[in-house]
Structures are given as structure tokens and as C-alpha cells.
């Protein structure tokens, strides 16, 4: 699981992945982290608009949606950036977007109950330690409520989610291992650029689409990196 877990030895700290290490004040910049910290970033805020657009592409008349995530997953600056991205994306798409927070695993069922009571038509799931650790629960509840849902990683779709758009986390893990190897061979963490994803994946589960009574546009299927049938 990706999160703010530190791998440590005397003299450095390494984060396998965070949304915005600059806003979280972990590094001075991506190119020149400085200090004793480096790692990878998974572009958390930047991909929100794309996932909302995918929901709209599946249902062109979509007007009401929810965004689920941990409200305190990252620093205040990063979370403010996430909120700004969500609001800007909703305005651009003409969506009424309801933020549905989940601070702990006990809040997840209540979040879906709130979405149902508000009669929201779609859901975008954010990426954080809670949503990742409770991915199976979230996917199951989305299916139970028959929600059109866009997820942040392919692992959700492999569990039975509808579709995802985000970085390849196995690729990030592989690259993180390369950074660690360099550090243990003597490289200074602050001299190693924080690495961003080079591979973004669109994965679609046609079996789930059929169960939801949805027709995925051919143009979207052609762009998908993988279609699960």
C-alpha cells in the first residue's frame, strides 16, 4: 500500500509515494528535493478532473456526482489543492459535486448511505491510505448501490469496480526500489529527483458496465489500456 510510510536508515528518509511532496513540505522541489528525502509521487490532485470527465463520457447527461476520500489524508496545503481541483473540474463539466468524507473505515458505509440519500448518480474515489486499504469494501458498496464509479487505480477494477484512471502502482514500486538501491550505494537522497508517474492507465470492466446497464462508448474502449470482459 502506498502512503506516508518511511523507509529509514541513519541520514535519510524515503517515501514510496505521496500526492504532492512539495505541498506537503517534504521536499523543496521535485527536481532538487534537497535535504534527506526523496521518493515518488502519484499525481493525486491532477487526475481528479480526468476521472470526472470519464464519468461524464459514459453518461453524457450526468449532472450530480460525489467525491469520496479521506479529508485529512495529506497536509492542509495538499488537501486545499485537491479541493480546488475538484471544484474547478466540477464547474468545467457543469456537475453538482458533493464531497463525501470518510475519516476512518467506520465512516465508509455511512458515506455510501449519504450518497444514496442524496440520490447522486456517480462517484469518484480518491487515492489515500484509507481508500486503498478498504478498496474491496468500497467496490462492494458501489456495486450494492449500483453507482457509476471511477477509481484511482486498476486494482479497484480487478476487484469488480467499473473503471479506473491513474498511475501504474507496480511501476512506481519498481522505480522506488531503484531509488532505494541508489541510496544504499551512496547517492544522497536530496540529489535524486522525486519521480512522477510515466504511465497512466485507463482500465474498464465491461462485465460491471453490463450489470449497471451501461454502454461504454467505443471511443473510450479504444483508448483503454485494458478492457476486462
Per-residue pLDDT tens digits for 105-164: 999 999 999 999 999 999 999 888 889 899 999 999 999 999 999 999 999 999 999 999
Q: Is the pLDDT of residue 213 over 60?
A: yes
CA-atom Rg of the chain in angstroms: 18
- Alpha helix stretches (DSSP H) within the chain: 48-58, 76-93, 108-117, 129-133, 135-144, 154-158, 169-184, 206-211, 218-223
**What is the three-class DSSP state of 147?**
coil
Sign (positive/negative) of CA torsion 67, 72, 75, 76? positive
Whole-prediction pTM: 0.83
pLDDT of residue 44: 65
pLDDT of residue 15: 39
Q: Is the pLDDT of residue 3 over 80?
A: no
Dist. CA 5–CA 13, nearest whole Å = 10
Residue 132 Ramachandran class (φ > 0 left, ψ -120 to 50 alpha, else beta)? alpha
Q: Is the pLDDT of residue 17 over 70?
A: no
pLDDT of residue 151: 96
Do the beta carbons of residue 82 and residue 48 sit within 8 Å?
yes
Fold: same for 7-42+167-191 and 45-166+200-228: yes
Strand partners, 68: 100, 125
pLDDT of residue 143: 96
If pLDDT is split at 50, 70 and 90, which confidence band does 217 have?
very high
Q: Is the pLDDT of residue 14 over 50?
A: no
Identify the CATH number of the domain defined by range 45-166+200-228: 3.40.50.2300
Identify the CATH number of the domain defined by range 7-42+167-191: 3.40.50.2300
Q: Is the pLDDT of residue 95 over 80?
A: yes
pLDDT of residue 33: 85
pLDDT of residue 16: 44
Considering only CA atoms, which of 199, 204, 49, 43 is closest in space to residue 124? 49
Q: Per-domain residue ranges for the chain?
A: 7-42+167-191, 45-166+200-228
pLDDT digits (tens, 9 = 90+) for 35-93: 788 888 776 667 888 999 999 999 999 999 999 988 887 778 878 878 888 888 899 99
Burial of 172 (0-12, 13-18, 19+ CB in 10 A): buried
pLDDT of residue 113: 95
Dist. CA 134–CA 154, nearest whole Å = 14
DSSP category for residue 23: T
Do the beta carbons of residue 30 and residue 21 sit within 8 Å?
yes
Amino acid at each position: 500500500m502506498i502512503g506516508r510510510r518511511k523507509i529509514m536508515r541513519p541520514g535519510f528518509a524515503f517515501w514510496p509515494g505521496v500526492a504532492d511532496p512539495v505541498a506537503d513540505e517534504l521536499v523543496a522541489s521535485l527536481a532538487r528535493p534537497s535535504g534527506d528525502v526523496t521518493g515518488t509521487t502519484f499525481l493525486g490532485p491532477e487526475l481528479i478532473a480526468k476521472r470526472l470527465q470519464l464519468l461524464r463520457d459514459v453518461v453524457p447527461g450526468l449532472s450530480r456526482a460525489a467525491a469520496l476520500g479521506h479529508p485529512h489524508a495529506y497536509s492542509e496545503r495538499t488537501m486545499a489543492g485537491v479541493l480546488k481541483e475538484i471544484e474547478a473540474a466540477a464547474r468545467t463539466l457543469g456537475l453538482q459535486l458533493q464531497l463525501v468524507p470518510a475519516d476512518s473505515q467506520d465512516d465508509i458505509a455511512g458515506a455510501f448511505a449519504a450518497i444514496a440519500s442524496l440520490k447522486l448518480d456517480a462517484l469518484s474515489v480518491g487515492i489515500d491510505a484509507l481508500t486503498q486499504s478498504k478498496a474491496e469494501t468500497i467496490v462492494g458498496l458501489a456495486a450494492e448501490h449500483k453507482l457509476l464509479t471511477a477509481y484511482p487505480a486498476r486494482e479497484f477494477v480487478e476487484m469488480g469496480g467499473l473503471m479506473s484512471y491513474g498511475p501504474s502502482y507496480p511501476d512506481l514500486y519498481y522505480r522506488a526500489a531503484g531509488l532505494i538501491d541508489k541510496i544504499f550505494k551512496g547517492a544522497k537522497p536530496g540529489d535524486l529527483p522525486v519521480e512522477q508517474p510515466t504511465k497512466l492507465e485507463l482500465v474498464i470492466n465491461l462485465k460491471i458496465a453490463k450489470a449497471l446497464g451501461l454502454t461504454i462508448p467505443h471511443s473510450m474502449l479504444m483508448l483503454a489500456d485494458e478492457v476486462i470482459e
